[in-house]
Amino acid sequence: MTARVTVRGVAPYDVVIGRGLDDQITPMLPAADRVAVIHTDSLAAYAARVAGQLRQSGFDVLPLVVPDAEAGKQLSVAGECWEALGAAGFTRNDAVVTVGGGAVTDLGGWVAAAWLRGVRVVHVPTTLLGMVDAAVGGKTAINTSAGKNLVGAFHPPAGVICDLDVLDTLPRADYVAGLAEVIKAGFIADPTILQLIESDPAAATTPQAPFAPEIIQRSVAVKAKVVGEDLTEQGLREILNYGHTLGHAIEKSEQYRWRHGDAVAVGMIFAAELGRSAGSLDDATVARHRAILEGVGLPTAYDGTPWEQLRATMAVDKKSRGTRLRFVVLDRLAAPRILDSPPEHALSQAFSVVTGKAAQ
Ligand code: GLY
């Protein structure tokens, strides 16, 4: 069954979720003559299938192969893409299609956002994380030597195609890491997601789970609602960063060798603890975090970097204001809010739970 979630805003667009969706891309590209398909070498076969479909529909297709992961999110790579678009005579009518995970979405989205001050982009995410997070909401970015995602723009796509067929060949660990964002959506907004996963945690770790389409659709719907109301992160969109403040600090400390979702899982344990000690989150919901994350095999502990160092890294998180730390916490299930400047003892207590050095 194919589902559609509409992202509202100035230029509404659909996220299509289902299987066998090759023919859904063309209708998202009205008026284009040329389409650049940006992808990594590792996805060459799938990208060739997408390109073939586009050629059959009459488009001139320009394949652009970019390096994998963060290595692709560089100014030099974006520059090579723009040179290629220029050489092929891309006009404002033409379009970019990204085929890949979050890094390709970020890079390709930025290439499209800046070319001629913005051309149409359609994302075809190939990871669970891409489907439920990176491809939806219009964040685009490249990295600089000063940090990750520091140059970019909000450039919403013209559409997103979540073809679950591509998840069948995704490594299990990557799928499970994507579940962290799905579980996050459950805690901040849609507890039905949690109930579905809890009904069979082992099955939840694969896209063959009977409820996989539903949890993906529900997670996309959570994101769509938030970014539809607050595209440029003036307030509400910050709730999507539940678990991310410590998660980002862990990723940075581990030089991005940790999967994003794994770091966010640990970050949610921290945030839940903070919600309990500095807010009003009840013990049962705190325990539920650990149970569901461990149930699908996500990490819930981290002891690799001293607290002082992680705290200093969090102080330069994009969500911080001056030297004040800000976190997303839950007052109760599906009731997120910003916690500004929590007491230091609450922070270190929450971290000691993460390291396993405190009573829970
Ligand atoms: N990944 C968080 C956001 O899109 O705002």
Rounded Cα distance, 139 and 113, in Å: 10
Alpha-carbon gap, residue 60 to 290, rounded angstroms: 50
Q: How far is the CA of 248 from the centre of ligand 1 (A)?
A: 12
Question: Is residue 199 domain-shared with residue 161, that is, in the same domain?
Answer: no
One domain, residues 117 and 184: no
Q: Residues with Cβ < 8 Å from 56, sequence gap 6 or more?
A: none
Choose among 259, 172, 177, 160: nearest CA to 207: 172
Given this model, what pLDDT does residue 257 score?
A: 92
- Of 70, 28, 66, the closest CA to residue 255 belongs to 70
**Residue 312, both tokens:** 């200093």
Specify if 360 maps to a domain. no
Handedness of CA 148, 151, 153, 157 (dihedral sign): negative
Sign of CA dihedral 132, 142, 177, 240: negative
* Cβ count near 315 (within 10 Å): 13
Any atom of ligand 1 within 6 Å of the Cβ of 237? yes
Q: In ligand 1, which atom is closest to the CA atom of 226?
A: 5
Q: Is 139 in the pocket of ligand 1 (CB under 6 A)?
A: yes
Q: Whose CA is nearest to atom 2 of ligand 1?
A: 240
Give how many domains the chain has, as a whole number.
Answer: 2
Does some domain include residue 224?
Answer: no
Encoding tokens for residue 188? 């901040």
- Please work out whether the CB of residue 106 comes within 6 Å of at least one atom of ligand 1: no
Q: What confidence score (pLDDT) does residue 151 get?
A: 95
Clarify whether residues 114 and 197 are in a common domain: no
User: Which residue, 169, 184, 203, sits at the end of a domain?
Assistant: 169
Q: What is the dihedral of CA 253, 259, 261, 265, to 10 degrees?
A: -50
Closest residue by Cα to atom 3, ligand 1, is 240
Q: Say how many Å lie between the CA of residue 39 and the centre of ligand 1.
A: 21
**CB neighbours of 236 closer than 8 A, spacing ≥ 6?**
226, 229, 230
pLDDT the model gives residue 116: 97
Shared domain check, 268 and 351: yes
Q: How far is CA 122 from CA 1, 87, 104, 159, 309, in A?
A: 21, 21, 12, 5, 39
| 73 vs 143: CA distance, rounded Å | 6
Closest C-alpha among 192, 197, 163 to residue 179: 197
Q: What is the pLDDT of residue 147?
A: 78
Looking at the structure, do residues 195 and 320 belong to the same domain, yes or no?
A: yes
Residue 70 belongs to domain with CATH number: 3.40.50.1970
* Parallel, antiparallel or unpaired: strands 60-66 and 34-40: parallel
Count helices and strands in the chain by DSSP H and E runs = 13, 11
182 and 331 co-located in one domain: yes
pLDDT tens, per residue, the chain with 360 residues = 899 999 999 999 999 999 999 999 999 998 889 999 999 999 999 999 999 999 999 999 999 999 998 889 999 999 999 999 999 999 999 999 999 999 999 999 999 999 999 999 999 999 999 999 999 999 999 998 877 888 999 999 999 999 999 999 999 999 999 999 999 999 999 999 999 999 999 999 999 999 999 999 999 999 999 999 999 999 999 999 999 999 999 999 999 899 999 999 999 999 999 999 988 999 999 999 999 999 999 999 999 999 999 999 998 766 666 668 999 999 999 999 999 999 999 999 999 999 988 755
Is residue 119 domain-resident? yes
CA of 140 to the centre of ligand 1 (A): 10
Residue 304 lies in a domain: yes
Classify residue 53 by burial, with Cβ atoms within 10 Å: 0-12, 13-18, 19+: middle
Q: Which of 64, 63, 88, 66 is nearest to 77 (CA)?
A: 66
Same domain, 130 and 177: no
Determine if ligand 1 sits within 6 Å of the CB of residue 137.
yes
d(CA 223, CA 118): 23
Containing structural domain, residue 184: 172-219+229-355
Q: Are residues 178 and 164 in the same domain?
A: no
Q: In 3D, which of 314, 317, 316, 324 has the Cα closest to residue 351?
A: 314
- Is 196 near ligand 1, meaning CB less than 6 Å away? no
On whether residue 234 sits in a domain, the answer given is: yes
Of ligand 1's listed atoms, the one at least distance from the Cα of 241 is: 2
Same domain, 63 and 135: yes
Residues 343 and 258 in one domain: yes
pLDDT of 321 reads: 61
Q: DSSP letters along 57-82, please?
A: TT-EEEEEEE-SGGGGSSHHHHHHHH
Same domain, 213 and 103: no
CA nearest 329: which of 148, 116, 184, 132? Answer: 184
Whether 190 is covered by a domain: the verdict is yes
- Looking at residue 214, which CATH number applies to its domain? 1.20.1090.10
Task: Answer yes or no: do 15 and 81 share one domain.
Answer: yes
Question: Which ligand 1 atom is nearest residue 181's CA?
Answer: 1
